[in-house]
Amino acid sequence: MVGIQRLVLDVLKPHRPSMMDLAKQLSELKGVTGVNLSLYEVDQETENIKITIEGNDLDYKKVEVIIEELGAVIHSVDGVAAGSKLVEEVETPQDK
């Protein structure tokens, strides 16, 4: 079965747990083959991060549960890829 292969999420999290802990927990989900967390903004109490998860037939609800259990919140789903092949975005004249 082919399902969601990539999720890109904008997440606001407290400083604790660390990004390493969050990445490790997400990487242990069934079907996950890779996780990337990038820090974009830090304030006194929180961090704004981008989470990219790749795998086979990813379960968004399970991802959401882990993120929320660690005290974070998903601000938005910024990208989703599904199907038997990952398709990368291409630049168009409107992007310039």
Per-residue pLDDT of 34-89, as tens digits, reads 999 999 999 999 999 999 999 999 999 999 999 999 999 999 999 999 998 888 88
Q: CA–CA separation, 54 vs 76, rounded Å? A: 17
Q: Which of 19, 62, 54, 16 has its CA nearest to residue 40?
A: 19
> What structural domains does the chain harbor?
4-84 (3.30.70.1340)
Read off the tokens for 2: 């082919």
Q: CA–CA separation, 53 vs 35, rounded Å? A: 5
Per-residue pLDDT of 7-49, as tens digits, reads 999 999 999 999 999 999 999 999 999 999 999 999 999 999 9
Q: CA–CA separation, 50 vs 39, rounded Å? A: 7
